[in-house]
Amino acid sequence: MITPFTSQSAIDLYALSELTDFYRSAGVDGFFANCLSSEMFSISETERLELTRHVVDQVNGALPVVATGSFGVTLEERAESTRRVYDTGVDAVIMISSHFALAQESDQVLTDQLQTLLGLTGSIPLGIYECPAPYKRILSPQVFSTLLASGRMVYHKDTSLVPALVKAKLDLLKASGNQNLEFYDAHTPNTLFSLGAGARGMSSISGNFYPEIMSWICHHLGDPSREEDLQWIQSEISRVDPIIHQGYPVSAKYFLQKRGLSLQSLSRSQVYSLSPDQQRDLDQVYVDFLGWCDRLGIPVVRP
């Protein structure tokens, strides 16, 4: 999820409610609040909790909500952060992989730190997110296997981008017989590949532009009568993926404005506005999106 801001740079709770309802109407099956798209490193701890609690209350149990919680310097502080986020009512609290080892430190350090965190957080359901910030720490298949064996992980957001790594982890998940962990890929060009290899769904920024399209793909995968359409829409969303990344998350807010949402294209993490060229490119993606929906027979959700 993105975070709407007012012109005074406060979290716009009215726009957040509208956005949450919009996602639901567009067919999403769950919410990741307080993530990198939410600009979580640019808002305070109090705001992160307020934002998460507001989404939980707005969803009101209709769909699962997860949120990042591994903030702090020490493991004890991160465990306390995890408990505070869980107290907002989320279904699971997400750990950022790079919070548990420095870039130069080994996978053993990462595993040891995460195991200690597990011991400090009781039975709270947890997830892991290969967040690109503060640096991207991709889980090796060995680390992923160790976390699977803990029985505590219910969510994994993969940002490796590499199909072979995605498949290696999904093969481990399948072989483990673990029915609790849900695997989500963040890389839109991997959509058909990852879903076909066993991912539960997608958690890509595309969902902040055209959630109807991503939902349609997830729910039509494997339908032989739509195979041509699936391949076609995969090529389309891959084609525009570099465009929607430019100036993100401002680009998403601009796009959602075009879709009729009452949020402003303001950001705390990005200090610049979109250039005229970037706006024109997004305007064309919007036209393309309407064409996609028309070809696939998908109703365009209006706020």
The pLDDT value given to residue 271:
66
Q: How far is CA 144 from the centre of its chain?
A: 19
Tell me the backbone φ, ψ of residue 157, rounded to 5 degrees. Answer: -110, 115
Q: In the chain, pLDDT over 90 holds for what percent of residues?
A: 97
User: If we measure between CA atoms, which residue out of 42, 10, 38, 9 comes closest to residue 23?
Assistant: 38
pLDDT of the residue at 147: 94
Name the average pLDDT for the chain: 96
Alpha-carbon gap, residue 265 to 253, rounded angstroms: 5
| 250-258 helix and 276-296 helix, angle to the nearest 10 degrees | 50
Question: What is the rounded average pLDDT of the residues 30-58?
Answer: 97
Q: pLDDT per residue over 154-179, tens digit each?
A: 999 999 999 999 999 999 999 999 99
pLDDT at position 295 over 70: yes
pLDDT digit string, tens, across residues 111-127: 999 999 999 999 999 99
What pLDDT is recorded for position 6? 95
Q: Is the pLDDT of residue 303 over 90?
A: no
Determine the Cα–Cα distance for residues 267 and 143; give it in Å rounded to an integer.
Answer: 35
**Is residue 152 classed exposed, middle or buried when 0-12, 13-18 and 19+ CB atoms within 10 A define those classes?**
buried
pLDDT at 75 over 80: yes
Which pLDDT tens digit goes with each residue over 170-215? 999 999 999 999 999 999 999 999 999 999 999 999 999 999 999 9
Give me the half-sphere count of Cα atoms (radius 13 Å) on the Cβ side of residue 283.
Answer: 7
Which two three-digit tokens encode residue 258?
């075009």
Would you say residue 272 has pLDDT above 80?
no
In this predicted model, what pLDDT tens digit does every residue of 226-261 receive, in sequence order?
A: 999 999 999 999 999 999 999 999 999 999 999 999
Which of the four pLDDT bands, split at 50, 70 and 90, describes residue 270? confident
**Confidence (pLDDT) at 157:** 98
Give CA–CA dist 302/17, Å, rounded: 14
Query: How far apart (Å, rounded) are the C-alpha atoms in residues 15 and 6?
Result: 9
Read off the pLDDT of each residue in 130-141 and give the average, rounded to a whole number: 96
Task: Say how many C-beta atoms besides its own lie within 10 A of residue 99's C-beta.
Answer: 23
Query: In whole angstroms, what is the distance from residue 120 CA to residue 60 CA?
Result: 28
Looking at the predicted structure, is the pLDDT value of residue 269 above 90? no
Give the pLDDT mean for 123-136.
97
Q: Which domains does the chain have, with CATH numbers?
A: 13-222 (3.20.20.70)
- Looking at residue 273, its pLDDT comes to 87
142, pLDDT greater than 90: yes
HSE of 261, CA atoms in CB hemisphere, 13 A: 30
pLDDT exceeds 70 at position 14: yes
DSSP H or E stretch at residue 229: helix 227-245
Q: Which residue spans within the chain are E strands per DSSP? A: 31-33, 65-68, 92-96, 126-129, 153-158, 182-185, 201-202
What is the predicted pLDDT for the residue at 189? 98
* pTM to 2 decimal places: 0.95
Whether the link from the prior residue into 249 is cis, omega within 30° of 0, is yes
Those residues with Cβ within 8 angstroms of residue 277's Cβ, 6 or more apart along the chain or in another chain = none
Q: What is the pLDDT of residue 300?
A: 97
> For residue 213, what pLDDT is reported?
98
CA distance 213 to 206: 9
